[in-house]
Amino acid sequence: MDQTVWVSGSRGFVGSHLVRWLRHAGYALTCVSNTSQSDGRVVYLDFADRHQMRETLDRLGPPEVFLHLGWGHVYQPQSPDHLTTNVQNGINLVDTCFERGVQRFVVIGSSSEYGERVGALSEDLAPEGALNNYIMGKLALAAHGFEAAARLNRTFLHVRLSYTFGAGQQHNSLINQLFKSSAEKTVLDLSPCDHYRDYIYVGDVAEGIARISRVHGSAIVNLGGGKVIQLKEFIRQFWSHLGSDPELLRFGAHTKPDHEPPQPHCHLDLTRLKSLTDWTPTWSMQDGIAETIAQLRSGG
């Protein structure tokens, strides 16, 4: 594979899996960061400084594709930075990349951009209900990206990613809490977990983003499992794979966290993904859970 790709957010959960997948597939890969403290393996790009980004792109040569996963304050969805710093940094990055010769720019968004819609969610649907600042920031950047791509004859791809699971998530993630409680044989207090999610295994996410990055022509593209599952059922399946006592799961011990977005009974429609890439996710829920647990047990 001779496609040149730059990736921001390469040290995050999805980004780290994506980088491994791209390297294994033979992509010419460069990781970039908006943080000046670099370990030498990551190129520094100051998203607030167009001059610095132009100089770096000119010096290294523009990639064919830029995959933008980097986004500040992800775990603080109501932070005002989502509507100011994050959006402006993204606009600077899109404009500078297109100006300097990048052909395709891919932003990773969220299935929560559909808001409180239910049922099968296709890319042409507008959001319904309240949206947090994180989601509004992603939508604002996407609107600018599509406009810039049309004006400059480039491609802008906006991936609406559903809930992703796998090894390597934040230490206090649901997956890690389940794994820790199972290992220690302790009670895990949970919310009622009666809301719904469309889950996708991170291995499919990595491959899906790579496949979408080869699409010519701007588009919003859903990337998810394409099925809905109640969170309580997902937890029970994961717990069962761990071989743990179901009595240790205490559903309804506290309320659903206020910061979490609405999670109605819905799933992503993958028709466009299939049409554009001739591919849909291949990992089953059971196989993804088993692989996640195997990696966690091996320290991965």
Domains of the chain with bracketed CATH: 4-165+199-226 (3.40.50.720)
Mean pLDDT of the residues in the chain:
96
Q: What percent of the chain has pLDDT over 90?
A: 91
| Residue 212 contacts residue 113 (beta carbons within 8 Å) | no
pLDDT at 300: 66
Label residue 284 by pLDDT band (50, 70, 90).
Answer: very high
| Residue 164 contacts residue 177 (beta carbons within 8 Å) | no
3 phi and psi, to 5 degrees? -70, 130
155-197 residue pLDDT tens: 999 999 999 999 999 999 999 999 999 999 999 999 999 999 9
pTM of the model: 0.96
Helices 231-242/174-184 angle, 10° precision? 40
Q: What angle do CA 231, 234, 235 make, to 5 degrees?
A: 90
235-244 residue pLDDT tens: 999 999 999 9
Nearest to 282 by CA among 163, 197, 201, 161: 201
45-91 residue pLDDT tens: 999 999 999 999 999 999 999 999 999 888 899 999 999 999 999 99
